[in-house]
């Protein structure tokens, strides 16, 4: 039986590619895609998710939750770090302008989360690729929701390394620290995939060249190759890393049981204020602390299996789009 999931995302190249991989995985039933403001505005995230569905045309179209946020957290990132526009393109999808028709039967993301989970209690696992804004709002709308979920896999936080947006904070937690704290303190079973682990899987530039040669020239295939090549150019120009990170694929692989991983059960919280520490993920590892544990943090990941899962998924979805206009 396939795992029912909702993907909450702010795509972004890495998120977009992971969504396509999810469409290709027969072990996953993507019930919903919910847009959140983060790397791109909420409005743009909504358009990008609709574009991905229209392009891939999966056998079962997931429902899309919209965000009306006109700003992205990335617009307020500290000076000195590469902009999300530089890394992901003006609209988040490289050089693609994701034109989509006017949307009907629109549903706000947090309300769609509540609706889907209520319709399938104990069956849906939520996988978050972006800030936790929508999930916190959903828990506020329905306080019983955490107990109706089949778990949460959250891409975010940093516990044993420097942050990526500030010295102490990872982007998703920094973008909406109050929402992150709300979710961390909720009773839902949660697996956190922190930055120091999610940054492990990556495609070398040579690996991307090889993968591009194996992806057929279908509509999805051309889109995937375009995103990968844009990411190579952006990483060469703006980042010192000689790989394209596929962090969202790490969280998805865990949800799909496609990789082995090790976790540590911890007491975790998020700092919501502080000029230097807002968004900082705090793990209390004191041996005599009385605080109750509330999360599992991934400490080790089978990186080769994540990369293999990612590459196989992209090839599969590209092949499945054969014959589409």
pLDDT at 320: 83
Tokens 């092949």 belong to 319
pLDDT at 105: 73
pLDDT at 323: 47
The upper half-sphere exposure of residue 207, i.e. CA atoms within 13 Å in the direction of its Cβ, equals 15
**Helical (H) or strand (E) element with 235:** helix 219-238
Torsion of CA 156, 279, 92, 246, to 10 degrees: -20
Q: In what order do the strands lie in the sheet with 152-155?
A: 63-65, 28-35, 3-9, 124-128, 152-155, 190-193, 295-301, 261-270, 281-284
pLDDT at 325: 39
**With 0-12 CB in 10 A as exposed, 13-18 as middle and 19+ as buried, what is 308?**
middle
Question: Per-residue confidence of the chain (325 residues) as pLDDT tens digits?
Answer: 899 999 999 999 999 999 999 999 999 999 999 999 999 999 999 999 999 999 999 989 999 999 999 999 888 887 666 778 888 999 999 999 998 876 667 899 999 999 999 999 999 999 999 999 999 999 999 999 999 999 999 999 999 989 999 999 999 999 999 999 999 999 999 999 999 999 999 999 899 999 999 999 999 999 999 999 999 999 888 877 788 999 999 999 999 999 999 999 999 999 999 989 999 999 998 877 677 899 999 999 999 999 999 999 999 999 986 644 3
What residues have CB less than 8 Å from 49, skipping those under 6 apart? Answer: 9, 11, 19, 33, 35, 64
For the chain, which residues make up each domain, given as ranges? 15-25+108-320
Q: Which CATH class is domain 15-25+108-320?
A: alpha beta
Whether the CB-CB separation of 266 and 283 falls below 8 Å is answered with yes
Nearest to 48 by CA among 13, 77, 21, 72: 13
DSSP 200-218: S-EEEHHHHHHHHHHS-SS
pLDDT at 287: 78
**Facing residues of 280 across strands?**
169
Whether the CB-CB separation of 158 and 110 falls below 8 Å is answered with no
């Amino acid at each position: 039986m396939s795992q029912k999931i909702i993907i909450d995302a702010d795509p972004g190249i890495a998120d977009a590619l992971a969504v396509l991989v999810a469409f290709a995985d027969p072990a996953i039933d993507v019930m919903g895609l919910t847009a959140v403001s983060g790397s791109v505005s909420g409005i743009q995230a909504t358009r990008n998710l609709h574009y991905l569905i229209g392009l891939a045309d999966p056998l079962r179209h997931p429902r899309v939750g919209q965000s009306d946020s006109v700003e992205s957290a990335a617009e307020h990132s500290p000076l000195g770090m590469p902009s999300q526009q530089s890394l992901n393109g003006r609209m988040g999808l490289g050089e693609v302008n994701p034109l989509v028709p006017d949307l009907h039967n629109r549903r706000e993301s947090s309300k769609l989360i509540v609706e889907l989970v209520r319709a399938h209690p104990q069956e849906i696992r939520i996988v978050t690729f972006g800030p936790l804004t929508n999930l916190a709002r959903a828990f506020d709308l329905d306080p019983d929701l955490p107990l109706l979920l089949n778990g949460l896999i959250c891409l975010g936080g940093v516990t044993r390394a420097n942050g990526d947006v500030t010295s102490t904070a990872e982007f998703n937690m920094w973008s909406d620290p109050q929402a992150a704290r709300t979710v961390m303190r909720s009773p839902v079973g949660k697996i956190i995939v922190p930055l120091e682990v999610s940054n492990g899987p990556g495609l070398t530039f040579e690996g991307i060249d090889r993968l591009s040669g194996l992806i057929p020239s279908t509509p999805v295939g051309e889109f995937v190759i375009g995103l990968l090549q844009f990411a190579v150019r952006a990483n060469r120009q703006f980042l010192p890393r000689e790989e394209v990170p596929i962090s969202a694929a790490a969280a998805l692989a865990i949800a799909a049981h496609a990789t082995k991983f090790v976790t540590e059960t911890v007491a975790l919280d998020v700092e919501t204020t502080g000029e230097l520490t807002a968004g900082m993920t705090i793990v209390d590892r004191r041996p005599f602390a009385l605080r109750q544990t509330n999360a599992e943090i991934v400490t080790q990941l089978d990186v080769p299996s994540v990369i293999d899962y990612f590459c196989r998924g992209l090839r599969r979805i590209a092949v499945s789009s054969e014959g589409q206009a």
